[in-house]
Amino acid sequence: RPMSEPPPMHGTEGWWDVLRRLRITFGGRIQENVRADYRYISGSETWFEGDFPFSLVSFYGQAEVRPMSGLTFLGGLGRDAYSTSFSSVMPHASVIGRPFRSTTVKAVYAEGFRAPNVYEWNYEEPDLQKRNPSLKPERIKTFEGAVEQRISGGLFASVSAYHYRFGDLIEYSIDAGDSMLFFGNLQRLRTRGLELELNGRFDG
């Protein structure tokens, strides 16, 4: 759940054509949040106030292999490390094939994570909500397959199937011992779906 206007990031990206059919892409970024104020005020009373600056360092590498015309393999790793001690290594891999000139087939696997935000990680309120120092990032594994078909010059059709596995989802919970609210991690959630799309682009 990113903010609508994230802070500026400073990064770099590059690639290296090792062989005619092998390209290595790599990059990284640094994000410094020098101020992250959070205040909860009701009328003349301040329930919560604090400044929680943090930084993020991330980098990734990817290999792209094209053993033959119409077939591409992609694989890589990324790593995000927050100054709040949250970090994760995220692999991804995909195969893209074009068995026919007007047909594209894709298979994708990827992993990702979302670190707790300032509110989830720090907020506490007397007699109502407490901070959870054991809160962990959310994680997701995705499996997707798709077939895209050009029917005519301006008409495209596609069908895709996906399977998502979420782990450690962050949600409100209640401590049975003291009846205090806190953010905790749910066990897991799975979603499956099928999408069909017809896209037309016509003259005029």
Predicted local confidence at residue 43, as pLDDT: 83
* CA separation for the pair 33, 45 (Å, rounded): 27
pLDDT above 90 covers a percentage of the chain that reads 62
Confidence of residue 20 (pLDDT cuts 50, 70, 90): confident
Element (H, E) at 122: helix 118-122
Confidence of residue 104 (pLDDT cuts 50, 70, 90): very high
What does the block give as tokens for 35? Answer: 């101020």
* CA separation for the pair 182, 125 (Å, rounded): 10
Average model confidence (pLDDT) for the chain? 88
Query: Does pLDDT of 175 surpass 80?
Result: yes
In sign, the C-alpha dihedral spanning 65, 67, 68, 70 is: negative
Query: Does pLDDT of 57 surpass 80?
Result: yes
Tell which residue, 29, 28, 33, has the closest CA to residue 3.
33
